[in-house]
Amino acid sequence: MRLSYRQHQRSRNPFTQPLEELPVEFRPKEKLVFLSPTLEVLFCEEYINFKHCGQRSQGVPGEQMPTSDTVTEPRERILVHCDLDAFFAAVEILHHSLDPDKPLIIGSDPQAGRGRGIVSTCNYAARAFGIHSAMPISEAWRRCPGHPFGPGHYIRGSRGLYSRASRRVMAILQEPAEFFEKASIDEAYLDVTKAVDGDWDAAFALCRTLQNSIEEKVGLTASFGIAPTRILAKMSSEVNKPKGIFRILPDEIGDFFEGRSLREVPGIGPKRATQLAEWGLVTVDEAYVYGELALGRMAGERFASWLTRVVDGTTSSEVSPLRSRKSVGKERTFSSDQTDHEAVLDVLRALTQGVLARSREMGVSGRLAEVKIRYTGFETHTHGRSIPVAMDEPEVFLRLAENLFATNVQHNRGLRLVGFRLGQLDMPPTRQAILKWEEE
Ligand code: TTP
Ligand code: MG
Ligand code: MG
């Protein structure tokens, strides 16, 4: 998916970094046998992927057009997109009982204006100074200096707090949704078609109820967008921010885009917007009436076809946790390097249980078990094994994890981190009664 400037900046941010891509290097090593209920013998493939010195294999965000947002659903859906308002800032204000009317800036150390990092986010009082996410922290300081030069309150932020608040909000949002997808730490898509029986007014009322419930139970404000496709729902949730609700009915899409800047469409970044502006196209309706064919000659067929479908309301309305996630994982870094590998194995078991509990909660199963081991000195190895059908049985993955750890860990070396990841996700779970081959 093409990333907007904001999303591009966000993908660089460690707080919102996408999970690592699954390893590409597969090396068959050992076959492990499972028996399916029909007594078929299932073989597992194993690979090993070595990553040294903590180098992560991160893809540079591409500039291509979205490919995944193209599925046309046969039936009209009612989708909701919820995004929390100034999320990190709101959590900090709540936690430290800060004054919400004083500018709060969360990001890297401003070093009295000489800091080289960026702003993660800021509250609405700071936004009044023109500060926004991904702005250089030095620029934020110039606009609103911190103590003793100005009213700005600069903090680094604390991730644990945000994940906890996020989980509480997600639990509230998940409840009425037939399909639910946590799209980032502070936003989620809900398919509420069934919950509201296809009634758009009931969808509006449901959002109001959810908004109140989040405020009462978690103390945070959220904005909601209601629309027939994902991209329209996401754009709507921005319209009345903060604490807003905005709805685009299927026959209102054209009106919604009239006079609306192309830059507001997620997926249109500054480069593309500038290119279009040079051709005299600034708003979505201008680009649309220009015609798909002519637009395609200027900006590429894929872009033209995608933008046309956005305005026609025929881009994806699928809500599925698999869209936002490639894997579910947990890892633990030890405060001092561990030499007792049995104790580490216990931690790995607990992590694996945690991952499987999480995946069950999300309603996903997986085909790949991956164990990550980081030795003293940061040398990191991941060992994976895949099974032929996706499952969500903790038993299966516990055995895989134990086996991967026991056969691969290098003895007599200190361990700095251990982790477990469930990959090659699928849904709904294929709940299979597994016959344990050891018990035969
Ligand atoms: P956003 O939802 O983009 O921003 P926000 O919730 O702070 O503000 P808004 O009211 O406009 O929704 O991002 C959610 C959180 O993700 C945000 O609070 C902090 C974090 N974040 C970063 O760390 N870096 C970034 O560049 C962005 C955009 C967000
Ligand atoms: Mg937000
Ligand atoms: Mg967000």
Phi-psi region of 259 (alpha: psi -120 to 50; beta: other; left: phi over 0): left
User: Can you give the residue ranges of every domain in the chain?
Assistant: 7-60+324-439, 79-87+160-250, 100-155, 255-312
Q: At 54, is the pLDDT very low, low, confident or very high (cuts 50, 70, 90)?
A: very low
Question: Which ligand is the nearest neighbour of the Cα of 105?
Answer: 1
Q: How far apart are CA 419 and CA 48, in angstroms?
A: 15
Distance of CA 84 to the CA centre of its chain: 14
Q: What is the pLDDT of residue 4?
A: 41
- 393 vs 43, residue with greater confidence: 393
d(CA 288, CA 311): 8
- Give the number of whichever ligand sits closest to the CA of residue 121: 1
Look at residues 388, 351, 350 and name the one whose alpha carbon lies nearest to residue 368. 388
pLDDT tens, position by position, 253-299: 999 999 999 999 999 999 999 999 999 999 999 999 999 999 999 99
Which CATH number applies to 100-155: 3.40.1170.60, 3.30.9.10, 3.20.20.370, 3.30.300.340? 3.40.1170.60
pLDDT at 427: 80
Determine how β-strand 41-43 pairs with β-strand 33-35.
antiparallel
Domains 7-60+324-439 and 100-155 are alike in CATH topology: no
Q: What is the CATH number of domain 7-60+324-439?
A: 3.30.1490.100
Tell me what percent of the residues of the chain surpass a pLDDT of 90: 76
Q: Which of 133, 163, 189, 236 is the pocket-test mutation for ligand 1 (most atoms within 8 Å of CB)?
A: 133
Q: What is the pLDDT of residue 128?
A: 98
Quick one: pLDDT at residue 428? 65
Residues 6 or more apart in contact with residue 117 via CB below 8 angstroms: 107, 108, 109, 136, 137
| pLDDT above 60: residue 30 | no
Task: State the DSSP H helix or E strand holding residue 349, giving kind and residue range, or none if neither.
Answer: helix 341-362
Residue 373's DSSP bridge partners are: 381, 418
Which pLDDT score is estimated for 324?
87
pLDDT at res. 42: 42
Largest CA distance in the chain: 75
Please work out whether the CB of residue 88 comes within 6 Å of at least one atom of ligand 1.
yes
pLDDT for 159 equals 79
Q: Strands 153-155 and 179-184: what pairing?
A: unpaired
CA dist., res. 41 & res. 275, Å (int) = 57
Ligand 1 midpoint to CA 132 (Å): 9
Given a cut of 80, whether residue 1 has pLDDT beyond it is no
Q: Is the CB of 85 under 6 A from ligand 1?
A: yes
Which CATH number does 255-312 carry? 1.10.150.20
Cα–Cα–Cα angle for 361, 366, 372, nearest 5°? 100
Residue 2 CA to residue 69 CA, distance in Å, equals: 11
Is the pLDDT at 328 greater than 80? The verdict is yes
- The class (CATH top level) of 79-87+160-250 is alpha beta
Q: For residues 362-366, give the mean pLDDT.
A: 91
How many other C-beta atoms can be found within 10 angstroms of the C-beta atom of residue 203? 24
Q: What is the pLDDT of residue 72?
A: 44
Q: What is the mean pLDDT of residues 197-202?
A: 97
In terms of Cβ atoms closer than 10 Å to its own Cβ (0-12, 13-18, 19+), residue 140 is: buried
Residue 79 C-alpha to ligand 3 middle, in angstroms?
A: 16
* CB of residue 265 inside a 6 A radius of ligand 1: no
Amino acid at 158: S
Which of 7, 87, 224 has the most ligand 1 atoms within 8 A of CB, as the residue to mutate? 87
For residue 15 and ligand 1, the question of a CB distance below 6 A is answered with: yes
- Rounded CA-CA distance 252/411 in Å is 65
Dump pLDDT digits (tens) for 217-255. 999 999 999 999 999 999 999 999 999 999 999 999 999
